[in-house]
Amino acid sequence: MLDIKFVRENPEVVKQNIRNKFQDNKLELVDKVLELDKENREIKQEVEALRAERNKISKQIGALMGQGKKEEAEEVKKQVAASGTRIEELSAREKEVEEELLKNMMVIPNIIDPSVPIGKDDSENVEIEKFGEPVIPDYEIPYHTDIMESFDGIDLDSARRVAGNGFYYLMGDIARLHSAVISYARDFMINRGFTYCVPPFMIRSNVVTGVMSFAEMDAMMYKIEGEDLYLIGTSEHSMIGKFIDQIIPEEELPKTLTSYSPCFRKEKGAHGLEERGVYRIHQFEKQEMIVVCKPEESPMWFDKLWQNTVDLFRSLDIPVRTLECCSGDLADLKVKSLDVEAWSPRQKKYFEVGSCSNLGDAQARRLKIRVNGKDGKYLAHTLNNTVVAPPRMLIAFLENNLNADGSVSIPKALQPYMGGMTKIEKKHA
C-alpha cells in the first residue's frame, strides 16, 4: 500500500505505474482516492474548528449564568449542542470516508522498481543468468510420478480417495528424500546466518490482508469456517506477521529468518499437462526465508536471497537459471521479483522452483512494522524468498540425478540426511 501523501503529490506517477502493470481498470481509483482524501482532510479541519469553537463558547455559559443572564446562557447551550450534533455527523462520515479510502488504497499497486522490465505477463519475463550446464541424457527421462512409482514412492490413488485431487502420499525412500531435502535446506540457511523458525500455520485476516492483495487472497487462501483464521499458503506470511504492530530498534536490524511449514493453496484454475502429479497441489511443505531491514539495504538483501536458492540447487547438482519478472507478472505489493527456475531434462526446459521478492515498505505500512532509528521512526522493508519447496523441487532433483538404470544418485551434500545412502535403487520396472 502506498503512502497517501505520495499519491497526493504524485498522481501521474501512480497512474503511469498502473499503466506499466497493464491494469488500466484501476486508473480511476487514483482520482477516487484523491477525492476521498480531500474530503477526509476537509472533514478533519471542520471538526477541529467546531471543537475549538465549542470549547470557547462553552466557557461563556458559566459566566453568563453567574451574571444572571440565563436566557443568553441557554442560547449558548443550544449552540454547543448544535456543534456537538454536527461533530457527530462529521465523525460518522469521516469513518465512512476513511474506510472507503483504505479499501481503494489497498487495491492500487505498489510502485515498481525502475529496473523492472515492462511486460504484460510471465511470457515477457527476462532471463538474467544460467548456473550449471543443462544436460539432456541419451536415455529416456520418465514423467516424475513414473519415476516415483518405480521406487514405490507415491500413491496418488489413495490420496484421491482420502482427500481428492491435488493431494498425495509420499512413501519409502521418496518420502525420506523429501524430508532430507527440507532438513538440508534448513541447515543450509542456518549456516548462512538465518534464525530457524517454525511459525503458526494459521493466521488472522488482518495479517492476511497485511501481506498480500485481495486477488491473491481469494485465489490462494483456505479459510477456517466460523473463525477468523486462514491456513497459510506460504510461511513468509506468518513470519512477516510476527512483526505486526512492532517498533523494532534499528540496531536489531536486519531480522533474518528461515522457516519450515506446510502450505495450503486453493490453486484455482485449470492446469496443463506438466502440472499433473505433484507439480501443482493443494498441500506441500516448504523452507522459506524472510528479511526485515532498513530501506537502503533491501536491494542488497534481494540479491543475497535469490543467490541462496541458486547455491542450494547447485549443491544438489541441479542446473538453474534466474528470470527477472516483468511488470505485468508482479503481484501488486511487489517492488521487484526474480524467479529461480530448475532445468528439466525431460521437458528440455526450465520450470519455476522459487520466487524472490522485494516488497519495499508495502507490507510494513499495512502491518505497522516500524523501526526506531536515531532520526525517528520509519517503515521497514520486507523481502522473502523460497529456499526449497518439495515435492515440486523433487521433480528437478529426480530428473537431474536419474541414472540410465533407473536409480537416482544422492549428491554428497544430501547423503548425511539420507543415512549415508549414495543411491536410491528401483523397486521394480
149-158: long-range contacts, CB 8 A cutoff, minimum separation 24? 150/406, 150/426, 150/427, 150/428, 150/429, 151/408, 151/424, 151/425, 151/426, 151/427, 152/427, 152/428, 153/177, 154/278, 156/277
Q: Active-site residue 186, yes or no?
A: no
Catalytic member of 186, 213, 265, 288: 265
Rounded to an integer, what distance in angstroms lies between the CA atom of residue 203 and that of residue 197? Answer: 15
- Radius of gyration of the CA atoms of the chain, in A: 28
| Beta strand pairing call for 255-264 and 195-197 | parallel
Q: Active-site residue 160, yes or no?
A: no
| Beta strand pairing call for 408-409 and 154-155 | unpaired
Decide if 287 contacts 260 (C-beta within 8 A).
yes
> Cell numbers 544422492 correspond to what residue?
410
Rounded to an integer, what distance in angstroms lies between the CA atom of residue 215 and that of residue 109? Answer: 12
Helix axes 298-315, 172-190, angle to 10 degrees: 140
Cell, residue 181: 531435502
Q: Active-site residue 265, yes or no?
A: yes
Rounded to an integer, what distance in angstroms lies between the CA atom of residue 187 and that of residue 199? Answer: 17
Kindly state the DSSP code that residue 234 receives in the 8-state scheme: S
- Residue 184 Rama label (left phi>0; alpha psi -120 to 50; beta): alpha
Rounded to an integer, what distance in angstroms lies between the CA atom of residue 68 and that of residue 74? Answer: 11
Decide if 239 contacts 290 (C-beta within 8 A).
yes
The three-state DSSP-derived secondary structure of 30-42 is HHHHHHHHHHHHH
Separation of first and last alpha carbons in the chain: 54
Decide if 112 contacts 21 (C-beta within 8 A).
yes
> Cell numbers 540479491 correspond to what residue?
303
Catalytic member of 54, 280, 297, 407: 280
Q: Active-site residue 280, yes or no?
A: yes
Catalytic member of 298, 337, 355, 357: 355
Half-sphere exposure of 135 (CA within 13 A, CB side): 15
Rounded to an integer, what distance in angstroms lies between the CA atom of residue 353 and that of residue 399? Answer: 14
Cell, residue 299: 536491494
3-class secondary-structure state, position 369: coil
Catalytic member of 75, 250, 352, 407: 352
Q: Active-site residue 352, yes or no?
A: yes
Quickly list H helices, 106-234.
144-150, 156-163, 172-190, 205-211, 214-220
Residues assigned a catalytic role? 265, 280, 352, 355, 392
